[in-house]
Structure 1
Amino acid sequence: MAEKRDEQDWWRGSVTYQIYPRSFMDANDDGIGDLAGIIQRLDYVAALGVDAIWLSPVFPSPMKDMGYDVSDYTDIDPGFGTLAEFDALVDKAHKLGLKVIIDQVLSHSSDQHPFFAESRSSRDNPKSDWYVWADPNHDGTPPNNWQSIFGGAAWTWDSRRRQYYFHNFLKEQPDWNFHNPAVQDYLLDSMRFWLERGVDGFRLDTVNFYFHDRLLRDNPANYLPWAQQALKPFDMQFCLFSKNQPENIGFLERMRALLDEYDARTTVGEVGDSHLSLELMGEYTSGKRLHMAYSFEMLGPNFSAEHFRSRILRFFTGAPEGWPCWAFSNHDVPRHVGRWLDHAADQDALAKQAAAMLLSFEGSVCLYQGEELGLVDTQLSFDELTDPDGIAFWPEYKGRDGCRTPMVWDDKAPNAGFSRANKTWLPVKAPQQARAVSTQDGRADSVLEFYRQMLALRRAEPDLRNGRIHFLDLPEPVLGYERGADLLCLFNLSTEPASVDLEGPVQGLLTQGATLTGSRVNLKANGFVIGKKMTG
């Protein structure tokens, strides 16, 4: 059972387990996960030793973007269950010592939201300026060059208003006009609804996308070297005006004031940007704004000591009072074990090393369901896809479905114990089923048991949660750092052996492929040591 941590800043150094509800557990056998299924499996999550769960969106939605297109911010989609079941989930989680964080998709709504239907009906209705509308250029083209992340212009023509509306994502996901204070009030009120129901915090989707430039100025070209080879036109721009606007700070301060009306609540904002993510993370978590922020800085292919060291140093140097939340995987990117397999002796060794590294970084941590099993992405054919991003850019980009396939519970059961339906919304395939919980639970050398050990160590050693990080000056491929005064962490990020000479001996607390002889540490491929410096 998770240790109970009710102090006001429980989130600082916490570990949150992300649940993707469609794929976690299906209790009614319709092939799609649901709240009742999550309730059935909460004991498993609590037994891992995490502090909180994060639920991806469960609100009413047409599911054009799998729930990230919300049509009602204060209810539960019938496909996931009911408000009563949500309340039961929160109640059980709290009894198990788990906090509950829910996704809030505030930058945009579904085009099926009743306010958008009203807004698009005319130019003078009460909701006419609740979304971002603009006149065409004289030649009928969109008002500027902004691009949608999912491909094509970020503007869609609406014949009723004879104007374009703005959408950073799908055309079915129109952006709210945050320059209208009434929009801010409405969205804050929807957050209050969930706070009153007992949620402990919010994960804020695309938190730097809320405001747009009032003047609708063109974005400049992306000056980074890789931009002209980018797959998506969106990535060929430096999004100077379509997001990251200074007015965002005022809204985050309003949001923080709301949360401060309640005890022990938190926010973690997703900061997605190719240029400024670490700077924005720091800016957004300094002062009375967000509690935590995380980005895609560690969700890519880079796997080197320099990369991880520089990301952490850059954040804390730029924002000494800010607070990061690090993650290696989530529902939007390929699973990290698959991304980094070229740097691995074997899949399990890499999975364990990644867990030890992530869970010993300074900051808070998000784990994505299934990473504790060492899963890689499921290989899907085009006809199996549901993700609009993958469908649009196939085959060069296969989308996000590969990391979203159902959780694998039982290697002997149909659909790996996720569902008894004849067909699940995404398929369960043999490589994932072979790593089901049933094959790893209680097996001392399994990835699952290692996650439990590492999470227990993080709880037992306060410096792993709260100690400041100090990096050692070591050459590639070894990443080394101290946490607090006494803890030492060394990781060999290669498939070749490496050695490190220290100032004194170290007592190993948790190791893999490591030999400690006096002050010398020998590390095999993907070897690591988390230990205490010995004195006297």
Structure 2
Amino acid sequence: MSVSGNTINGDKTEWWRNSVIYQIYPRSFCDANGDGIGDLPGITRKLDYVQSLGVDAIWISPFFKSPMVDFGYDVSDYRDVDLQFGSLADFDRLIEAAHSRNLKVIIDQILSHTSDRHPWFEESRCGRDNPKSDWYVWADPKADGSPPNNWVSVFGGPAWSWCTRRRQYYLHNFLKEQPDLNLRNPQVQEQLLTDMEFWLDRGVDGFRLDAVNFYFHDRSLRDNPARPLRLDKNGLPPVNPYDYQWHLHDKSQPENLQFLQRVRRLMDEHPGTVTMGEVGGDNTYRIMAEYTTDRRLDMAYSFDLLTEESSAEFLRRTLRSNRAVIEKGWPCWSIANHDVPRSLTRWNKGFDSDQALARAPLFLLMQLTLRGSLCLYQGEELGLEEAEITFEDLQDPYGINLWPEFKGRDGCRTPMPWFDSGEVNAGFSKVKPWLPVPEGHHHKAVSVQEGDPHSTLNQFRALIDWHRQLPPELATADQEVVDTENDLLVFYRRGANGGEFLVALNLGKDEETFDLPEGLSDAEDITPALFAGGRRDGKLVLPLAGARVLHLKKN
């Protein structure tokens, strides 16, 4: 039985456990109508490719009607497709095509805020006595006219903007064009749940809940306490003022848990659907544990593996802390997405380009063997590096606000290279795309890698296929990280039926060894063939990017 297929211990409703979810950023995936922007028909056109990867589901980033100030994360209509991406009919065809290929479809839901051009906000801002007046977070100024408190936007600057018509401030944890909804209002909750049901009725298999711990704020609007400054290697404080506070009162409030239970009840009416939350905060392990237990979310991922750090010691500490808190809850591992520099660049400081490319499958093997599910971001399977975007080509308001010390998220959002045909756009579009395709990505195009059995693309395919063939007890086996005091990441997976797995990954540059405990020296070696290393004199011996997976069967 497959641990990465559609059943776990025969339960088809929990297909998501140990699943591989492929994230598609629609603007940059495939342009079918020739306007330089990827779209839903483009995704449908490339579903055979997605299916060939062996993944279980696709997660599609926002495609809803939007002014696109934050490229779809500023929604102006929760029930319609933006014309840039197609139509509702295009979405229905995508769902049908994905399901015919046994691919589940997960879509983003942005419930913490809308666009400032959403009809709800346009009505709310007109005055204090209209039907939508309490649908957003409004607050009076202090006596001196300043904002109600010291909260800071994730994108830099105050989290409050002034509205002249209401003579009040409105809260926006992100851009000023993204006002926060007031989920303390029961009408708002009902509306959002109804909008989610609209997509469930159209056949979606689940939701990725954006900024899931931002739904509620402290009712008293208390100031956040200052955070001790963490200086960088040059002795300078953080670039973003958001990092100067402990975010105790602007998010992660207890009321969030009650709302997530309402979401769970809605999902239960549609068996086999899943919720995956994006958690950002100062104590993500605790939040993930709370949010994935007691009938709330099915799984959650955090930014803990989306940082610059990737040493064995960092990963040991992170995985151990995660497991210590998340007991019955379920993590979803992500080392790359549309918000952070690509992992090949971010996690390979000090490694040359060949070494970095050799390590790409190593990190996928890590994710495939950890307890949990995983998200694979488009282009990671090609070994794409972070793109350098000039200020003139920059689109991301986050980067524009904090340039040049922070260049935003465009470097990981450049279009997928499909063909190395000599064309400027690598087969993504016939016209100039919304972001340029880097020259260095052309030789890594899908068409180039398809015919090479040793390409990163085919290594990723082989690994995902290997994952499907693993013994079923690995699906829910417990996890224990081992202290090695070197550059090896070593952990056990121990199943309820007695089966035991040992996973060892060399994250360093030099050859490393690990003394095998008694009883594991004769364990079956089930390591994928592409990884170097082996056993010698009772030790595991692993070169750079080497790995071993051992399986000890017990009666």
TM-score (norm 2): 0.93
**Is contact 2:5-2:15 (8 Å) kept?**
no
Q: Which residue of 2 aligns with 1:337?
A: 344
- Say whether residues 1:430 and 2:439 are aligned partners: yes
Are the structure 2 counterparts of residues 343 and 528 from structure 1 closer, same or farther at C-alpha, using a change threshold of 3 Å?
farther
Q: Once the two structures are superposed, what CA deviation does each residue of 1:437-491 show, in whole Å capped at 9, x if it has no partner? A: 1121131211111111111111110344332223233222111122232332111
**Is contact 2:323-2:479 (8 Å) kept?**
no
Q: CA deviation at 1:518?
A: 5.2
Q: Which amino acid aligns with 2:295?
A: K
1:467 aligned to which of 477, 480, 499: 477
Q: Which residue of 2 aligns with 1:187?
A: 192
Q: Which residue of 2 aligns with 1:515?
A: 534
Say which SS state the counterpart of residue 127 (structure 1) adopts.
Answer: coil
**Is contact 1:134-1:143 (8 Å) kept?**
yes
Q: Which residue of 2 aligns with 1:253?
A: 261
C-alpha distance in structure 1 between counterparts of 2:161 and 2:392, whole Å: 27
Are the structure 2 counterparts of residues 3 and 95 from structure 1 closer, same or farther at C-alpha, using a change threshold of 3 Å?
farther
Q: Which residue of 1 aligns with 2:248?
A: 240
Q: Which residue of 2 aligns with 1:208?
A: 213
- Say whether residues 1:396 and 2:401 are aligned partners: no
**Is contact 1:344-1:526 (8 Å) kept?**
no
1:349 aligned to which of 350, 358, 382: 358
Q: Write out aligned runs for 1:32-181 (5 A).
A: 32-181=37-186
Are the structure 2 counterparts of residues 410 and 286 from structure 1 closer, same or farther at C-alpha, using a change threshold of 3 Å?
same
Q: Write out aligned runs for 1:350-499 (5 A).
A: 350-412=359-421, 414=423, 415-421=425-431, 423-461=432-470, 462-484=472-494, 485-499=499-513
Q: Which amino acid aligns with 1:482?
A: Y
Q: Which amino acid aligns with 2:435?
A: L
C-alpha distance in structure 2 between counterparts of 1:4 and 1:148, whole Å: 40
C-alpha distance in structure 2 between counterparts of 1:517 and 1:40, whole Å: 49
Q: Once the two structures are superposed, what CA deviation does each residue of 1:68-119 show, in whole Å capped at 9, x if it has no partner? A: 0000000100110010110110111111011000000110000000000000
C-alpha distance in structure 1 between counterparts of 2:251 and 2:534, whole Å: 50
C-alpha distance in structure 1 between counterparts of 2:194 and 2:382, whole Å: 39
Are the structure 2 counterparts of residues 535 and 118 from structure 1 closer, same or farther at C-alpha, using a change threshold of 3 Å?
closer
**Is contact 1:103-1:204 (8 Å) kept?**
yes
- Say whether residues 1:10 and 2:50 are aligned partners: no
C-alpha distance in structure 2 between counterparts of 1:117 and 1:239, whole Å: 29
C-alpha distance in structure 2 between counterparts of 1:379 and 1:187, whole Å: 38
**Is contact 2:24-2:60 (8 Å) kept?**
yes
C-alpha distance in structure 2 between counterparts of 1:463 and 1:86, whole Å: 37
C-alpha distance in structure 2 between counterparts of 1:173 and 1:342, whole Å: 35
C-alpha distance in structure 2 between counterparts of 1:323 and 1:33, whole Å: 32
Q: Once the two structures are superposed, what CA deviation does each residue of 1:43-90 show, in whole Å capped at 9, x if it has no partner? A: 111111111000000000000000000000001001100101101101
Q: Which moved more, 1:397-406 or 1:335-344?
A: 335-344
Q: Once the two structures are superposed, what CA deviation does each residue of 1:110-132 show, in whole Å capped at 9, x if it has no partner? A: 00000000000011001001000
C-alpha distance in structure 2 between counterparts of 1:460 and 1:226, whole Å: 46
**Is contact 1:3-1:49 (8 Å) kept?**
no
- Say whether residues 1:282 and 2:298 are aligned partners: no
**Is contact 1:509-1:532 (8 Å) kept?**
no
Say which SS state the counterpart of residue 259 (structure 1) adopts.
Answer: helix
Q: In the comparison of the two structures, how many residue pairs are matched?
A: 534
Q: CA deviation at 1:399?
A: 0.3
- Say whether residues 1:303 and 2:310 are aligned partners: yes
Q: Once the two structures are superposed, what CA deviation does each residue of 1:262-285 show, in whole Å capped at 9, x if it has no partner? A: 110100000011x11111001100
C-alpha distance in structure 1 between counterparts of 2:75 and 2:272, whole Å: 27
C-alpha distance in structure 1 between counterparts of 2:106 and 2:224, whole Å: 34
Are the structure 2 counterparts of residues 224 and 8 from structure 1 closer, same or farther at C-alpha, using a change threshold of 3 Å?
farther
Q: Which amino acid aligns with 2:306?
A: L
Q: Which amino acid aligns with 2:89?
A: A
1:220 aligned to which of 212, 222, 225: 225
Q: Once the two structures are superposed, what CA deviation does each residue of 1:308-338 show, in whole Å capped at 9, x if it has no partner? A: 2222222232131111101000000001110
Q: Once the two structures are superposed, what CA deviation does each residue of 1:173-201 show, in whole Å capped at 9, x if it has no partner? A: 00000111110111010000000001000
C-alpha distance in structure 1 between counterparts of 2:526 and 2:210, whole Å: 39
Q: Which amino acid aligns with 1:455?
A: I
Q: Which amino acid aligns with 1:234?
A: Y
Q: CA deviation at 1:3?
A: 4.8
Say which SS state the counterpart of residue 525 (structure 1) adopts.
Answer: coil
**Is contact 2:5-2:19 (8 Å) kept?**
no
Q: CA deviation at 1:226?
A: 4.5
2:326 aligned to which of 296, 319, 337: 319
C-alpha distance in structure 2 between counterparts of 1:513 and 1:223, whole Å: 44
**Is contact 1:509-1:529 (8 Å) kept?**
yes
C-alpha distance in structure 1 between counterparts of 2:224 and 2:480, whole Å: 38
Q: Which amino acid aligns with 2:396?
A: D
Q: Once the two structures are superposed, what CA deviation does each residue of 1:240-264 show, in whole Å capped at 9, x if it has no partner? A: 1111111101000000000001110
Q: CA deviation at 1:358?
A: 1.5
Q: CA deviation at 1:530?
A: 2.4
Q: CA deviation at 1:532?
A: 2.8
C-alpha distance in structure 1 between counterparts of 2:480 and 2:209, whole Å: 30
Are the structure 2 counterparts of residues 466 and 46 from structure 1 closer, same or farther at C-alpha, using a change threshold of 3 Å?
farther
C-alpha distance in structure 2 between counterparts of 1:450 and 1:29, whole Å: 32
Q: Which residue of 1 aligns with 2:32?
A: 27
C-alpha distance in structure 1 between counterparts of 2:51 and 2:252, whole Å: 36
Identical amino acids, percent of aligned pairs = 52
Are the structure 2 counterparts of residues 359 and 434 from structure 1 closer, same or farther at C-alpha, using a change threshold of 3 Å?
same
C-alpha distance in structure 1 between counterparts of 2:332 and 2:108, whole Å: 15
Q: Which amino acid aligns with 1:298?
A: L
C-alpha distance in structure 1 between counterparts of 2:351 and 2:164, whole Å: 55
Q: Write out aligned runs for 1:259-274 (5 A).
A: 259-273=267-281
TM-score (norm 1): 0.96
Say which SS state the counterpart of residue 550 (structure 2) adopts.
Answer: strand
Q: Which amino acid aligns with 2:22?
A: Y
